[in-house]
């Protein structure tokens, strides 16, 4: 009798995990866009309500969520370029693992660069400095 491999229930490797992350970030960005269209539509229905909703967006928590949105959009875009390379470059499938790590490295470097300006704003709002 063979033993099940150790680890998570999901047995995918880098390519499959990037597929899952691509779908999750796509759904998150879709829901953000949906909410954005709805809150923007409020300006025609009730400008006062629109102003109240927009004022709730000027909080440190929402600023952190905006940082998460930047992370999701950036990963989704970079991974989308990787997927196009796999689809249209003859050697793409052979190098998909290396491209996955390149996407993650580039994503991490860009997010690290964006972290200070975005999160500093959040902390200034939170602590009033």
- For 101-112, the pLDDT digits (tens) are 999 999 999 999
Q: How many domains are contained in the chain?
A: 1
Helix (H/G/I), strand (E/B), else coil: 8:
coil
The predicted-structure confidence for 30-88, as pLDDT tens digits, reads as follows: 999 999 999 899 889 998 999 998 888 888 888 889 999 999 999 999 999 999 999 99
Burial class (CB in 10 A: 0-12, 13-18, 19+), 100: buried
Task: Assess if residue 2 is contained within a domain.
Answer: no
Q: How far is CA 41 from CA 22, 32, 108, in A?
A: 28, 14, 35
Please measure the distance between the N-terminal and C-terminal CA atoms of the chain and give it in whole angstroms.
64
Task: Assess if residue 3 is contained within a domain.
Answer: no
Q: Which domain holds residue 63?
A: 15-127
Which is more confidently placed, 35 or 5?
Answer: 35
Q: Considering the entire predicted model, what is its pTM?
A: 0.81
Using an 8 Å Cβ cutoff, are 78 and 26 in contact? Answer: no
């Amino acid at each position: 009798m063979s033993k099940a491999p150790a680890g998570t229930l999901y047995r995918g490797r880098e390519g499959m995990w990037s597929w899952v992350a691509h779908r999750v970030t796509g759904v998150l960005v879709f829901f953000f866009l949906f909410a954005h269209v709805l809150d923007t539509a409020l300006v025609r229905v009730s400008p006062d309500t629109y102003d109240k909703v927009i004022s709730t967006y000027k909080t440190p928590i929402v600023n952190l969520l905006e940082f998460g949105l930047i992370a999701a959009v950036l990963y989704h875009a970079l991974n989308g370029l990787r997927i196009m390379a796999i689809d249209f470059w003859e050697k793409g499938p052979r190098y998909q693992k290396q491209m996955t790590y390149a996407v993650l490295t580039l994503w991490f470097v860009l997010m690290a660069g964006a972290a200070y300006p975005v999160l500093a704003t959040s902390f200034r709002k939170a602590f009033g400095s």
